[in-house]
Structure 1
Amino acid sequence: MNRCMCEHRIEVDNLDNGEIINHTILLIKGHIRQPRFPLPNNTTKKCVEEQLVLRLRQQSVHADSAGELQQHTPISRNGQFKLLCDLGQHVSLAEEVQLQLDFSFCNTSHQLEILYKAADSSNKKYRLQPLYITCSKQSVPEELVHENCEKINLNLRLVQCIYAEQLRTAGFGRRTFTINGDCQVFESNLSCEEVWQQNEKDLWQNFAQELLTSSNWGEDSKLKFVAFISCTRYDGAAVAASGDFSYANIRIHLKGHAALGGGGLALFGAAYLFAWPQTCNAIQTCFGSTKEVDLTELPDDSNYRRTYGGVYATTLGAVVHEIGHTFDLGHTQDGVMGNGFDYVNRVFTLDNLTEHLPDRIIQHVAPKVIAQVATRPRFTQLKRTTNSFLDKYHEQKTSDSFYFTRNCAVILAHHKWFRIHNGSADEERAGDAEITYDAVNNCVISAGDNHPLCLIEVRCMDNSLVKYWYELQSGKDIDEIYTFHLPKEAHEENHYLFVLTKTGLTKRFNEY
């Protein structure tokens, strides 16, 4: 029986009927649409319904198991809704499960069917392993280790979802990386005192070296790591005594901390896990938390929002950013790999307020260069720019303000850690390719029949900022490209070339 004379239409924006999902946290975005014509009898009564209901039913493809999950979510002022479903709590990660999604709002309903399919053994050739690093002779309460590992597990799965969503939005399908398993404790040979005395670059070098030489992890070249240092220490009393609550001063009094990614390791301090959720149901609440950070007790890395929600957004965005470096992404002016990783909260929340945050750009150089970003890999040197609040308002009103630029999306879509591998064919052909740079003719050459060029970037040597990039298109009616002549403008001092083939091979040329 209808509760009112309303007419609605439920639209799901980011999920198609029959779509295959390989990650366990699923973001569902959509709208409740109202008709543009008058209702019967010129009814103007406002709908009293405020929540959308999702019933998720599952039926295993290989078994007779079935189950149901029900969730409610509020509708924003413009009819938008966002739902987070943790499939990992309701399906076996090793099976295929047909999922039926029944949406209902007021007197209307909508149904979709999707397939959850765990990453198969061929996809697991390239994996990402979460680690919780403890120090030699360090005593860490077992409960704290368990809690932090659970937070890391959950939020890395959320990062996995973020990558899938962003690549789908960019037109490359729901591609993402594969997680190797639950967070594991890795005991370093360094003591806490030694860790506290080192800067983040030295910490990255030492921990990377220990992982490479470890018996558990060192022999697997197809494994990358995202690791959190357990003994990160914050001297809040010293910050309070100084009266200087700037991020720069907070960072000075934060020991054993890092936010640095590249190669096979993305490394972070554990000091900000206080703002991270431990369950999927708490994710959106944590993003929306306005609880103020007590800087005498806890550090703040929120780009000056000074709230738990701001800390969660910035530090999770930093994880997305630094993991991007392990997947060979350079820096960009905008987006996740530039000035936009603070806004990851906007991907999952509704009715966001416009935030005029300091841009993470410290200077501009030569006229044709887009921007020069901070030389510190975490963009920690902040300075307000001349962007107006109105510009920021329009930007955030029309988008989530969190995205990978096109060149980054192209790299991820073709990267070995994101490609859908069919057996070992790609690896068998890998030896046939030889990527070279011809200085005389100023061109890049891929000397392998199966490895056409895909993308070439010119990056600054100091900070890997992308100055120029060239996507090499090919397709049904266009020949594959194996030789690319660089434009004269692309030849820059103190820059290097990053080259990507369609099969995921990469090459860097420091001199060209």
Structure 2
Amino acid sequence: MNADRLGVALLLGALVTAAHADITIDNFEPGEVVRHPVVVLRGHAGGDSIAVGQSWANAGRTPVVKGEFRAIVELRPGPNMIVLQSGRDTMKYRIDYRPPTSPIKVLAIWVRAKDEPEDAYYYSPTGDRPRVREKFDTALKAIQCFYAEAMHDAGYGRKTFPLELDKNGKVVVHVLTVPKTGAEMRAMENNESWSYIYGLLSKEFPENDTHWCAMLGFSGYDRGTKKSPGHYALGGGSLGAFGTGSMSHWPASLKEIQKVMTDATLLDPNQTFDDSAFRRTVWANVSTAWGAMAHEMGHTFGLPHSNDPFSVMSRGFDYVNRTFVVEEAPRAGVDHWVAVKPDEHSRWDKYSAAKLNWNPYFQPDLVRDTTSAAPSIRVDGDQVVITAASGIRVWGADRDDTTPVFSEFLKDAPTEVTTSLKELREKFKSPYRITVVDTAGRQVTIDEKGQ
């Protein structure tokens, strides 16, 4: 063996070690560096289950279904040698976690009405509200992981948004106590409530440096009407806000995710809020809630709706569970387990992924461009003229019910492009939007009237 081949063999041996190896990891490379703390491993193994963890002592077991498995692992900063064991087969597999250095973050916000009895208050059919911060931590890390896997599947690598974490790696939860009662908040129209909360948060946190994922602790449930006043999902600007009507079902740790995401217990509408997209099970209630969070935060990152049925920016967000499981559990009207097909899970449509690729929140070591001018779009007769001093990376036209037209410049970025207004009108009719994203990730959108 020559020196080069010996060096490669020694390196691979340091990244992967195996005994009787009938275990494979299919979605990572040995020694891959990630910039977020939670990963989902997709692979193959023999037997009925596989143990996966940071050590043999804390390894958790996950099912192997027809030779396939999904395993959720939380990483420590630095090198992580993950251990896997299925039957007589064992493997150690290295993945490195390098926390992002970007100065901008997504903040976790708990919105509390002034008369609620505790900071961590949400509707629960049993009256107890255990492990609220743990549930928020688990949800945000899982959604961050989902974003990364969906971007990786779209061909852009594992890009995702940064969270604010404490010294122990837990999501920092900020509590916003609004100067209104829970009854007053629940009586407000959804858009009015969202705008009110936005105004309060903008006084507490800088909009240029933070986005806010806010859980509405005042959400309730009326067993008579089967509605959840104060529960909604809305996103835009810097704020994504989400009701807590289904939070009693959420997992409170990463090890609980697969258990909850396969819990086919039917919901009792006399006891609990059903937001499961008519699937009426615990797993679907949680999948839709987490998917809605991913969707509304997508709006804060400048994404429009999509007509791709599996896009996060359409009702495709209902299928977030399929990132974490091999088979989908039974639901109302379906009494058997269903294999998850490769092309039938929540994903980013091509336009959304292209825009996120340049979004400042998806640059883990962001250094802001403070010198070049922001991009611009103007209508000049039949021409739409798009300019960006730092270079145009994505420009496109879209409306919610139509496949967008867009161009992406991964290498050489032009500073100006033009397109025909007549052609856009013929394709999209009205209304439609025109958007440009520059190299610095700055986004400008106008309507078909140039406003």
TM > 0.5 fold call: yes
User: Superposed, which structure 2 residues align to 1:446-457 within 5 Å?
Assistant: 446-448=387-389, 451-457=390-396
Contact residue 330 and residue 465 of structure 1 kept, 8 A: no
Could you state the TM-score of these two structures normalised by the residue count of structure 1?
0.74
3-state SS in 2 of match to 1:341: helix
Q: Which residue number in structure 2 is paired with residue 81 of structure 1?
A: 69
1:228 pairs with one of 215, 220, 241: 215
1:280 pairs with one of 229, 241, 254: 254
User: Superposed, which structure 2 residues align to 1:352-391 within 5 Å?
Assistant: 352=328
1:496 pairs with one of 420, 433, 439: 433
Q: Distance in 2 between matches of 1:85 and 1:192?
A: 37
Shift of 1:302: 0.3
Shift of 1:474: 4.6
Q: Give the residue type in structure 2 aligned to 1:352.
A: E
TM-align CA RMSD: 2.7
3-state SS in 1 of match to 2:267: coil
Cα deviations by residue, 1:455-498 (Å, 9 ceiling, x for unpaired): 223233xxx556422123353xxx42222222443134322212
Cα deviations by residue, 1:395-431 (Å, 9 ceiling, x for unpaired): x534342111111111111101112335x3x3223x4
Contact residue 453 and residue 500 of structure 1 kept, 8 A: yes
Shift of 1:261: 0.7
Shift of 1:18: 1.6
User: Superposed, which structure 2 residues align to 1:454-469 within 5 Å?
Assistant: 454-460=393-399, 464=400, 467-469=403-405
Cα deviations by residue, 1:359-400 (Å, 9 ceiling, x for unpaired): xxxxxxxxxxxxxxxxxxxxxxxxxxxxxxxxxx89x53434
Contact residue 458 and residue 466 of structure 1 kept, 8 A: no
Taking a change above 3 Å as real, the CA distance of residues 9 and 471 of structure 1, as seen in their structure-2 partners, is: farther
Q: Which residue number in structure 1 is paired with residue 343 of structure 2?
A: 399
2:146 pairs with one of 138, 162, 183: 162
1:187 pairs with one of 177, 191, 194: 177
Shift of 1:109: 4.0
3-state SS in 1 of match to 2:370: helix
| 489-498 or 295-304, which deviates more | 489-498
Q: Distance in 2 between matches of 1:483 and 1:497?
A: 14
Taking a change above 3 Å as real, the CA distance of residues 140 and 111 of structure 1, as seen in their structure-2 partners, is: closer
Q: Distance in 2 between matches of 1:126 and 1:114?
A: 25
Q: Give the residue type in structure 1 aligned to 2:41.
A: I
User: Superposed, which structure 2 residues align to 1:197-212 within 5 Å?
Assistant: 197-212=187-202
User: Superposed, which structure 2 residues align to 1:301-450 within 5 Å?
Assistant: 301-334=275-308, 335-352=311-328, 396-422=340-366, 424=367, 426-429=368-371, 431-448=372-389
Shift of 1:306: 1.0
Query: Is 1:485 matched with 2:418?
Result: yes
Rg comparison, structure with higher value: 1
Contact residue 53 and residue 73 of structure 2 kept, 8 A: no
Taking a change above 3 Å as real, the CA distance of residues 428 and 145 of structure 1, as seen in their structure-2 partners, is: farther
Shift of 1:437: 1.8
Q: Give the residue type in structure 2 aligned to 1:72.
A: R
Q: Give the residue type in structure 2 aligned to 1:498.
A: T
Shift of 1:27: 0.6
Q: Give the residue type in structure 1 aligned to 2:317.
A: F
Q: Distance in 2 between matches of 1:73 and 1:230?
A: 32
Consecutive unaligned residues of structure 2, counting only runs of 5 or more, are: 1-19, 122-127, 166-171
Query: Is 1:472 matched with 2:450?
Result: no
Q: Which residue number in structure 1 is paired with residue 26 of structure 2?
A: 13
Q: Distance in 1 between matches of 2:86 and 2:52?
A: 9
Q: Distance in 2 between matches of 1:184 and 1:508?
A: 31
Larger RCO (alpha carbons 8 Å, 6+ apart): 2
Q: Give the residue type in structure 2 aligned to 1:469.
A: V
Shift of 1:55: 5.0
Cα deviations by residue, 1:298-351 (Å, 9 ceiling, x for unpaired): 110001111111101111111111111111111011211113111111111122
Taking a change above 3 Å as real, the CA distance of residues 292 and 447 of structure 1, as seen in their structure-2 partners, is: closer
Q: Distance in 2 between matches of 1:310 and 1:234?
A: 18
Shift of 1:441: 4.9
Q: Distance in 1 between matches of 2:51 and 2:133?
A: 32
Q: Distance in 2 between matches of 1:496 and 1:12?
A: 41
Taking a change above 3 Å as real, the CA distance of residues 299 and 53 of structure 1, as seen in their structure-2 partners, is: closer
Q: Which residue number in structure 2 is paired with residue 293 of structure 1?
A: 267
Shift of 1:234: 1.2
3-state SS in 1 of match to 2:364: coil
Contact residue 443 and residue 483 of structure 1 kept, 8 A: no
Q: Give the residue type in structure 2 aligned to 1:17.
A: P
Contact residue 458 and residue 467 of structure 1 kept, 8 A: no
Q: Which residue number in structure 2 is paired with residue 383 of structure 1?
A: none
Query: Is 1:172 matched with 2:106?
Result: no
Contact residue 159 and residue 320 of structure 1 kept, 8 A: yes
Q: Give the residue type in structure 2 aligned to 1:327.
A: F
Instruction: Give the number of equivalent residue pairs.
Output: 410
1:54 pairs with one of 52, 55, 78: 52
Q: Distance in 2 between matches of 1:231 and 1:276?
A: 17
Q: Distance in 2 between matches of 1:117 and 1:481?
A: 33
Taking a change above 3 Å as real, the CA distance of residues 470 and 405 of structure 1, as seen in their structure-2 partners, is: same
Contact residue 468 and residue 490 of structure 1 kept, 8 A: no
Contact residue 455 and residue 469 of structure 1 kept, 8 A: no
Q: Distance in 2 between matches of 1:313 and 1:411?
A: 25
3-state SS in 2 of match to 1:428: coil
Q: Give the residue type in structure 2 aligned to 1:343.
A: Y
Q: Distance in 1 between matches of 2:187 and 2:314?
A: 29
Q: Which residue number in structure 1 is paired with residue 169 of structure 2?
A: none
3-state SS in 2 of match to 1:16: coil
Contact residue 441 and residue 485 of structure 1 kept, 8 A: no
